[in-house]
Amino acid sequence: MALATTADPALGLLELDSVAIGVLTGDAMVKASPVSAIYSGTVHPGHYLLAVTGDTASVEIALETGRATAGNVVIDEVFLPAVAAAVAAAIVTDSQAATADGEAVGIIECTGVAAAIDAADAAVKAADVQIATLRLADGLGGKGYVMLGGVLAETEAAVEAGLSRLDPGRVLHSVVIAQLAPEMRADLAADLRFRRVVRTGSA
């Protein structure tokens, strides 16, 4: 079952800087805990992600085992006992565009995948906003960011909540734009990759 459609309440993710240790760690995690599912693989720039879903206790045990196995190759992690459905859906989408509905747009740019997922979850739980996009690692040199849309007050609250969830060292930049220009909104909705949008002239 895909992550976006799973009924499992908890999500845990480890971000590692070794593929070999990543496979070893994933094996140890599923042997130690009856998680419902594991999703693993590489992302830029040569990192390895391990995501597990299941009940809260099982995910906690898997993460504990993963940390112990991976040791100092763990870059970051996130544990969400009740992951927001919008976040689960945003993780698995293959869309390369951002549909930023609402008068305001908020962006939280993070050091990596785990931090961006963490910020997105906090944001959508704290305020009435939509995830316009959640970009993770590939094409970003390993960084991650979440873009949110909504009315100004809700967007400000969402960004504040996302930032409060993260240690400052996991945050690169954050902005709230009160009235995104129509031209910028159309460009984001066309494609988020510069060379693609220039080549196709699809803005």
What are the tens digits of pLDDT across the range 141-181? Answer: 999 999 999 999 999 999 999 999 999 999 999 999 999 99
Nearest-angstrom CA–CA distance, 200 and 203: 8
Number of other residues whose CB lies within 10 A of the CB of residue 173: 10
State the pLDDT confidence band at 6, using cuts at 50, 70 and 90: low
Select the more confidently predicted residue: 171 or 200.
171
Q: Is the pLDDT of residue 4 over 60?
A: no
How many degrees, rounded to 5, is the angle at CA 108 between CA 136 and CA 153? 135
Nearest-angstrom CA–CA distance, 184 and 93: 22
State the pLDDT confidence band at 195, using cuts at 50, 70 and 90: confident
Nearest-angstrom CA–CA distance, 143 and 116: 8
8 Å CB contact between 189 and 98:
yes
The strand pairing partners of 144, in sequence order, are 110, 136
Pull the structure tokens for residue 48.
């390895």
Nearest-angstrom CA–CA distance, 106 and 120: 11
DSSP string, 46-70: TEEEEEEEE-HHHHHHHHHHHHHHH
